[in-house]
Amino acid sequence: MLKAFVRMKKLGFIFCMMLSMVLTGCTDTPAPMEDNPVQGTWNLLNISGGFAGMDQDFEKGSITWEFDAELQSLAVINNAPSDTMYSGLDTASYRYAIFVKNGSSYLRINDVEYGGVAFSNSKMVVDQNLGSQGNGADGFVLVLER
């Protein structure tokens, strides 16, 4: 009988501790979450890869991509030097979408899959070698930063 009482007391203590952790861990306002990590202005810093194996750096601000999640639009301003081999998208407005397949994210521009997309801190990497239907070898890898 005494053993059962001690056991119940221990279980009651554990229950109270768990309940107090749950209650004190709650706040009235949820922690801010970024609903759409692509939203905002990005600077294209580097393009590498392709058949020729290029590796081209760009000055911050010379090529910007501005994503508007509400309108699903992408505004590109491309002021790359004229001697650049490849600088990505031309200056224009595009429709875009991010979609997920099998746990990986992909960027679609004007209804055409543009490549796999990954976010890390303030960087976005668009890898044209990663596609939702399979991988390639001669695509470009674009590195953008906020």
Q: What is the pTM of this model?
A: 0.74
Distance between CA atoms of residues 120 and 10, nearest Å: 45
Element (H, E) at 105: strand 104-109
CB atoms within 10 A of CB 134: 7
Cα 83 to the center of its chain, rounded Å? 30
Q: What is the pLDDT along the chain (146 residues), one digit of tens a residue?
A: 545 444 445 544 444 344 344 334 433 333 333 568 999 999 999 999 998 899 999 999 999 999 999 999 999 999 999 888 899 999 999 999 999 999 999 999 999 999 999 999 899 999 999 999 989 888 999 999 99
Element (H, E) at 5: helix 2-24
Place of tokens 């609903």: 35
CA dihedral 145, 110, 132, 57 (to 10 degrees): -30
CB atoms within 10 A of CB 106: 20
Contact between residue 75 and residue 68 where contact means Cβ atoms under 8 Å apart? yes
Distance between CA atoms of residues 10 and 8, nearest Å: 5
Place of tokens 């890869």: 49
For the chain, domains (ranges, CATH) are 40-145 (2.40.128)
